Structure 1
Amino acid sequence: MGSIMNWLNGLLDGSLLAGGIFLVIGVVGGVLLLLSLVLDGIFDAFDFGDGPLSLTTIAAFTAIFGFTAFGLVGAGVPTPLAGLLGAVAGVLGGAAAWWLSRVIRGAESTTAVTGDELVGSEAGVVLAIPAGGLGEVALVRHGERVSLSATAETAIPRGAQVRITQTITATSVRVELVSAAAGPSL
């Protein structure tokens, strides 16, 4: 309890203005960081790409700088030194935020299947396709099972192998029978 009181007294002994300015900087940075993460894309006009000057990196620097300097001023560190140490902490925190955002973007799935990529692929029928109606086919792309709604001019039974001839939407395709023999069950 005594250390909290000393910290509060440090803010009130004439460094309240400096501490308050650092606190405002920290809060603004924290709010920007939160908004940039929660409402991804809302500040794209102010974003400088994915590099070290991305909005996320700048907001992390600002928040860490402000809160660190605020805490140091309250602990009795002279304002210029608190600002310098806050800046060092902000650079380290901003660098960590930049590295983390790059790791997250690198881990994003690249298994999206495009329509052009599907045409000509073979798939197994997992839900029979009535003539002119909808059934379901499945295939493996990029190591993942992909299920798609499928339509065909003729009825195709479950287990048959088909070739995709056209993509209709992102999740539906037109197929034709390759063989009536049952293929591997997907």
Structure 2
Amino acid sequence: MLPFLIVGGVGLAVLLISLLIGDIFDHFDIGDGAISGTALGIAAVVFGASGVITYTSGLDTVWAYVLAAVLAVVAYLIAVLFVKRLTKSSDGVPASALGLSGVSRSDITPAGGEVSLDGPGEVERRLAYSDHPIAEGVRIRVIEHSGTRVKVVAE
């Protein structure tokens, strides 16, 4: 049962990282989005959970692995289809925030923070980070744009 718990735990970590920071496999352009960190995380969680449930229900260990693997593959394929569908239904290519100015809405550190940017279509807060701490309420400028996060400096 331990392998199921380990794979499920790693899958949960990958899923959380992909949802909070962004898909960790976006930078590898493999198979036109065929590999998705979100989908891999979901598949690993399904593998772990279904393996534990099957193993504890009294079936042979072989059947626990077979059922867990089949359900993980199905979950992966469904997740990839949903991720692709959501990507295609978005409002197009996001505009680059590079060079935009704004205001820090929380303290910004290398670990993170939030900013509001002054630009067309910028109505929400964005996740931001900086090499040097920036206090809340300080005017900032975007020097790097990566996924949904922006790297900022104080103006």
Output the TM-score relative to the length of structure 1: 0.45
Answer yes or no: is the 8 Å Cα contact 1:48–1:55 preserved in 2. Answer: no
Answer yes or no: is the 8 Å Cα contact 1:65–1:86 preserved in 2. Answer: yes
- C-alpha deviation, 1:112, in angstroms: 6.7
Answer yes or no: is the 8 Å Cα contact 2:25–2:36 preserved in 1. Answer: no
Q: Which has the larger radius of gyration?
A: 1
User: 1:55 corresponds to which residue?
Assistant: 37
Cα distance per residue 1:36-93 (max 9 Å; x no partner): 1221145545673653322222222211111111111011111111000001100110
**Change over 3 Å in CA distance of 1:25–1:46 after alignment to 2:** farther
- The CA distance in 2 between the partners of 1:69 and 1:84, in whole Å, is 9
Answer yes or no: is the 8 Å Cα contact 1:46–1:55 preserved in 2. Answer: no
Gaps of 5+ in 2: 97-119, 122-155
User: 2:72 corresponds to which residue?
Assistant: 90
Q: How does 1:37-116 map to 2 (within 5 A)?
A: 37-42=19-24, 44-45=26-27, 48=30, 50-110=32-92
How many residues align? The count is 98
**Change over 3 Å in CA distance of 1:20–1:47 after alignment to 2:** farther
Cα distance per residue 1:102-155 (max 9 Å; x no partner): 1110110028789xxxxxxxxxxxxxxxxxxxxxxxxxxxxxxx89xxxxxxxx
Answer yes or no: is the 8 Å Cα contact 2:55–2:64 preserved in 1. Answer: yes
Answer yes or no: is the 8 Å Cα contact 1:52–1:95 preserved in 2. Answer: no
Cα distance per residue 1:3-42 (max 9 Å; x no partner): xxxxxxxxxxxxxxxx121011111111101211221145
Answer yes or no: is the 8 Å Cα contact 2:5–2:48 preserved in 1. Answer: yes
**Change over 3 Å in CA distance of 1:24–1:47 after alignment to 2:** farther
- The CA distance in 2 between the partners of 1:111 and 1:54, in whole Å, is 19
User: 2:11 corresponds to which residue?
Assistant: 29
In proportion to residue count, which structure has more strand?
A: 1
**Change over 3 Å in CA distance of 1:42–1:99 after alignment to 2:** closer
- The CA distance in 2 between the partners of 1:112 and 1:90, in whole Å, is 32
Answer yes or no: is the 8 Å Cα contact 1:22–1:67 preserved in 2. Answer: yes
Quote the sequence identity (%).
30
- Quote the RMSD (CA, aligned, Å): 2.8
